[in-house]
Structure 1
């Protein structure tokens, strides 16, 4: 076994843009050989570190120097200066905000200060393609404990007492679901991991599977033992090729080590896992639609009951949990239900992973304890709103969720509190909006997504979401009426009540929440024919401030339809009848004389 004097970790997460981690890793290999130190330095490609806005990233141990926004062209300098001569490359070292010194390790980064990593415990720490690294961090010890020391009833009791709830949307108690399946009298039962993550901007499950696939595999085996299942499926969208590749590798390695397959650890327990690729249908995140897809049918939901735990895949008892839910299981078994239950709130235990995006300084992947406030997440972890803009709202739960305003930023993040505000936890998308976002346009964006993703099985969702979208389009074009607003609200409430599955039942949430908190914006679009945020193109008007204009003609030369005219050194004018509202003139004006209303 090689003894290395240094270790270089290269982040392979989805947020590391620019020169990709493969190019960076290959360049490091070349430079190490060039300096003849390839046998002294261990190079690892790791999973997502969460700091997506700083990617690509690399960390050099043993000192823990954290380099951010690295490109392949920076590697020769880092290798020569740091790994050969022992001098840190300061221009690439990440510096603490508001301080004048670089961080010594990830623990010094404010981004992590209020986070607790359970589901993300190994992401960014181990090589996800090497089972030995997972084993070195207590991997498969939970499975060993379960199959050699605990009976199935005890395993389910631990999960129930932990208070773990499903992290995929509804928040149903995991232990209760397992208990229901375990009591079904059937020789065939199944475990399914729902990795069909489809919310716009969400990449929580993807990052876990890319950074720590063995944790999910181990948890599925534990679940199989608990309910009496010998077979499991991971349903994952085909758009996640790296996650699929690493899952396949991890399954093969676990089989080779006797941790999957026949007679696991010599106990007589058998459990195998297969992968099924989805075509990217959002509705297949709903468990009965997912089951239909695995069975080779069209991905459409079924009425419930019976619930999958009673009659699921091929009419057999089936447990379906999402990736993040499973990723918590091994740690609960190892550290105990009391440890997990002491994190979070009374009814929402543990942590939650969020994909933090939108108008926020620190975009990325975070894992926070339940009960932390939205304000803490947005300002302490997310770094606040960039460019000195005003916070407007935060959308949680993706297309199924709703917006939360400034007055509710001190709300604790838990299932019940978010639901009370007309939003939801969902799978974990968290999109921050600022003063430049139009809330009518935001609602239209989510309705457009839902309309396309509706499976069409039930009329309220198939037709209702399309009608809602048509009304929103009228409003954003300045053609809406107050009667349209009443119809929109009434339609939203009816669709929410009578749709067949969770997709249709939650589809109106973005509309209802924006109507509740930002009705004045809807009225501005309808009554004043004006978009306060200046987003809805048909309602935007451009005007030149005569006091600021110096008559340089740059705006006129930029206009593609010759709508701007005037004389040199005299204020110019915009012909609103000819203006196509493209906005090309605004950035060209050096005097900021063009106003957008």
Structure 2
């Protein structure tokens, strides 16, 4: 991204940038990919509206490197938008100026975290940065930067067309709107479903997903990625919302739902969580870098860490630089609770 450029709206700060974050890191979700591949124009429209609201003259769409089709379609959509006069120095002959660019992601999970994303756009390593300062004050090239998820921006055209009140009637009073939920291949009806926030997880699993294939029984449900959290099969009577899931030690995240049946050993799931944490840690802070490797050693040895894990859990939660490290203990704790006695050593 080049430096420079003036904000185009009242009340904004010079150089304001809006970023559409399409670096979808949750291995269980493909909602952003579907939106960028199937309806790239809607994503661009949402980004353009967000730029207009912020008075920004520059916008960026960051597409995950593992999504080549989405990258190609977003670039083609931008090319068409310029050709049709929707973008450029004088949008449809008006005084409004807007330039949008599509950039390929850096290929790591943490590179989707907003400060790491900005570092990558500047040509640096995709590592999390301390906050404050926050990106809205000092972001890309030190300009005020707004980072929003692709799914969030794709909802903006509908809201503008039908009104905020119509959108707010969906979901719950505290968390309004809808969410795209991706069901993994073990479900009888895998796929991506749009549901209102607050929809019971059990309904999503049984009615939309049709339960598991071949009549298999669900033993644990991963929500929002390996570090999102886990629910036991008898603990699905919880609303799909940040508040509802956090009360169970999980997190909404991208809302990818991955089902595990009896064929997968709890110890293998635990080791997978730690392998993911160790492989995807950006290494910028010692608690996460060292702690994730230590946890993997414990999980691979099969020996419950007990008090040593309790100490590490406190360090990860309190001293990690970003949410990645802070999410590791809740994810492990929720997995241990979901499987009960077999992973009891990992319960605080």
- TM class by shorter-chain length? over 0.9
Q: Describe the shift of the 1:523–1:193 C-alpha distance in structure 2 as closer, same or farther (beyond 3 A).
A: closer
> Does residue 367 of structure 1 match 2:194?
yes
What is the aligned counterpart of 1:203 among 20, 30, 34? 30
2:210 counterpart SS class: coil
> Does residue 221 of structure 1 match 2:42?
no
Residue matched to 1:485: 306
> Does residue 345 of structure 1 match 2:149?
no
> Does residue 245 of structure 1 match 2:72?
yes
Residue matched to 1:393: 220
Residue matched to 1:501: 322
1:355-412 deviation digits (Å, cap 9, x = unpaired): 1115311111111111111111001000112222222121101022111123321211
1:21-420 counterparts in 2 under 5 A? 186-420=13-247
1:192 counterpart SS class: strand
Q: Find the aligned partners of 2:116 and 2:345 in 1 and give their Cα distance.
A: 40
2:188 counterpart SS class: coil
Q: CA deviation at 1:340?
A: 0.1
Q: Find the aligned partners of 2:78 and 2:86 in 1 and give their Cα distance.
A: 9
Q: Find the aligned partners of 2:59 and 2:279 in 1 and give their Cα distance.
A: 30
Q: Find the aligned partners of 2:220 and 2:16 in 1 and give their Cα distance.
A: 44
Contact residue 20 and residue 147 of structure 2 kept, 8 A: yes
2:306 counterpart SS class: helix
Q: What's the TM-score once normalised by structure 2's chain length?
A: 0.93
Residue matched to 1:460: 287
1:407 counterpart SS class: coil
1:270 counterpart SS class: coil
Q: CA deviation at 1:304?
A: 0.8
What is the aligned counterpart of 1:515 among 336, 340, 348? 336
Q: Find the aligned partners of 1:492 and 1:519 in 2 and give their Cα distance.
A: 19
Residue matched to 1:532: none
2:14 counterpart SS class: coil
Residue matched to 1:449: 276
Q: Find the aligned partners of 2:248 and 2:345 in 1 and give their Cα distance.
A: 24
Q: CA deviation at 1:485?
A: 3.0
Q: Find the aligned partners of 2:65 and 2:244 in 1 and give their Cα distance.
A: 34
Q: Describe the shift of the 1:519–1:494 C-alpha distance in structure 2 as closer, same or farther (beyond 3 A).
A: farther
**Structure 2 unpaired stretches of 5+:** 1-7
2:297 counterpart SS class: helix
Superposition RMSD in Å: 1.8
Contact residue 198 and residue 280 of structure 1 kept, 8 A: no
Residue matched to 1:433: 260
Q: Find the aligned partners of 2:225 and 2:265 in 1 and give their Cα distance.
A: 17
Higher Rg of the two aligned structures: 1
